[in-house]
A and B are shown apart, each in its own frame.
Chain A
């Protein structure tokens, strides 16, 4: 690794907590000598495999697509697999890693995402297509697809959910991740039930509970904008019947070519 010289020794501070043994969470310090391209996940892996096998966290893909490794680094939620350690060191060459906030801790950096998944299930994340299914694909315009991209890239890592101050105080709130998924289904011309969906999310447990503090946008490792999606849901909920009628109209031509605009 001659091209990738070692950097000075750094201190990685990790919040530890095993509810079977510990009374309360505490910070533990580890020291290691990273290389220039060491990620925070690489650092955790090095600590776990050579210093302290008990240090516990989730990880899998290593490149920000599986959503396992969302954690809180120096006070900010992020995935730790695609961020270089050196960019998150303070002046004393320290980094502090804690579990995602506002969620029960299972062990160390592993949190219990049950409420997160319950809300995901609650909004029925699956598409409900119309009764008439064409032989080939439903036709969607590139613009209709582009409108969903803000939501379809979501990897369900929980960074937004656990950064949300509304979630912090109210676990009945659907949350930014599930509202973003609901947005994706509502906006999808193939979904036959946008009215029911808007009824479910257009409440004060849903889109109207969002305080537009934008923590979710700041936390999202994929650069998505749940707040904007929630805002759209609020607007559509206000004109739900017209939106449903427009969807029924659109679905009449779903099996045929998209008229070429421009």
Chain B
């Protein structure tokens, strides 16, 4: 492996999806001259582009047609008419969706910033779908009490990502495309930079910066059926944890109700937002029994549990009974072609079902990581449950936990969160730089340490297949720490993860070359899966209640007396379990005290 080389920037951001690109563009706009963004894949390949249905904001562009019921048609609101939506409603829906685990101060910041961030996207060139009078079009989404999903057909994330990337380029941000972050350099409680692998050459670089930000995305690849990209291996989360940064609320993993059967690929919630039904093998709209009011537009945790119950009780569809039908036929050809074109293509390509003519087989799919690196609302990473800052280190987006989604995220709030808190982190970083932050000298030699680690990984003969380890992990996570959990299954999962971590020590990297070694990357990514999966299960095992996406058959009730708090996990000694501590949830007891959560 070639020798290392040192690079410095004022700001280094890892990850080029919405959160990272917003932060980079904002810092550059605010006058920071030297902003660099590193991404293991080209910025436009980031998984933000896979978001489909919309981005939430109470713009009051449309309303339900009077007297047509909760699933009736929408119309543009005539000028001068009363608004139907507000940030307060958006806030309440988000809090209720989070099962009261979301921090209400952060939620308030997000929902109040929402309209402006949407307008900013629009002013930057994002092509939204429109109402007849030219305003941004909106649709319904699960758990939202008003139509506030602002959309671009069913490829909203794609247009947002391209827009923000273009603007980051316009403002002179430097991109390191296909550079893989290996390590976070923290010394004496201060973050001083990272170590990264230049994928093309295999060369290691120590990068120093005044401020480092992680915007590395989620960790859904730890599950067998997932909507997540190959890239979503939770690298940033695992790297931060290994560097001594805590992780918060990792046990909260969202299963999206409509992943394509066997593939897990996302069928947007917009399918149901536009009026699609879910049916079991008897053709019954079973959501009547689980959420009589909201039906298919109940929040994702509830709908996925309902589907899984139907499947477990023998009412699933397909030869193995593991599917559910998503029926959109009644929407009609024109609406499907106009509003759900990508969905239709995917259903035809992957399961051979044209939603115009037949129901699409789907199943719950691991989708979103509510937990992550704890931050305050300014993107500053917190070093512990007391909320002390980790100087020089920032995070936003799915890898972070601010926490606005709490125990369950509402659809369309993730694009919003990544944008709002990415922007806020960018401002915080700009202030930090302009207030005179300095490049900190490194006393250790992290480059050398990482070089030796990689060398060892490549040189050892190895006998364990990396993919087999990853697959066994995904199976145990899905079967034992998935939609439904209990103490026995989670104990089995922890034991299995421990055994897999042990086996990984003999994992074999087949490709020994320096140039573009994606086999080596896969091994590193798998080690990350093994690292954070243990934290997911440990947090879930300790949390003896059911809340949002964390549903325990042995503790089926929410327990506010004991568990209205965030899990904060620190890495323990080698071979020891994570050290758990807890942090109170920010609740405005006057306005939004916890209530029973019914839909």
Please report A residues at the B interface, Cβ cutoff 8 Å: 2-4, 18-21, 37, 48-50, 52-54, 56-68, 82-84, 106-107, 110, 121, 124-127, 129, 133, 135-142, 144-145, 148-149, 152-153, 155-156, 184-185, 188, 190-191, 257-258, 260
Contact = CB atoms under 8 A, between A and B. Distances in A.
Interface of B: 41-42, 44-47, 49-50, 59, 79, 118-119, 122-125, 127-136, 152-153, 155, 158-159, 162-163, 166-167, 169-170, 200, 229-231, 262-263, 265-266, 318-320, 342, 345-346, 349-351, 465-467, 509-511, 513-519, 522
Contact of A138 (B123, B166, B346): B123
B262 A60 contact: no
B133 A257 contact: yes
B153 to A, nearest CB: 8
Contacts of A49: 465-467, 522
A258 B128 CA distance: 15
A18 B230 contact: no
A56 B342 CA distance: 28
B346 A82 contact: yes
Contacts of A64: 345-346, 349
A106 to B, nearest CB: 6
Contacts of A156: 44, 162
Given A37-B262, A53-B519, A66 B45 contact: yes
14 contacts: A2-B320, A3-B318, A48-B519, A49-B467, A53-B519, A60-B41, A63-B266, A64-B349, A65-B49, A65-B155, A139-B134, A142-B132, A149-B127, A258-B132
Q: Shortest 6 CB-CB distances between A and B: which pairs?
A: A53-B510, A127-B125, A139-B134, A3-B319, A49-B467, A258-B134
B170 A126 contact: yes
Contacts of B517: 56
Given A37-B351, A66-B229, A191-B125, 5 more contacts: A60-B45, A68-B42, A137-B135, A257-B79, A260-B132
A54 B513 contact: yes
Contacts of A2: 319-320
Given A129-B123, A141-B134, A61 B49 contact: yes
Of residues A63, A141, A153, which shows the largest number of chain B Cβ atoms within 10 Å of its Cβ?
A63
A228 to B, nearest CB: 18
Contact of A60 (B125, B231, B319): B231
A63 B518 CA distance: 20
Contacts of A20: 513-515
A63 B45 contact: no
B130 A145 contact: yes
B50 A63 contact: yes
B166 A155 contact: no
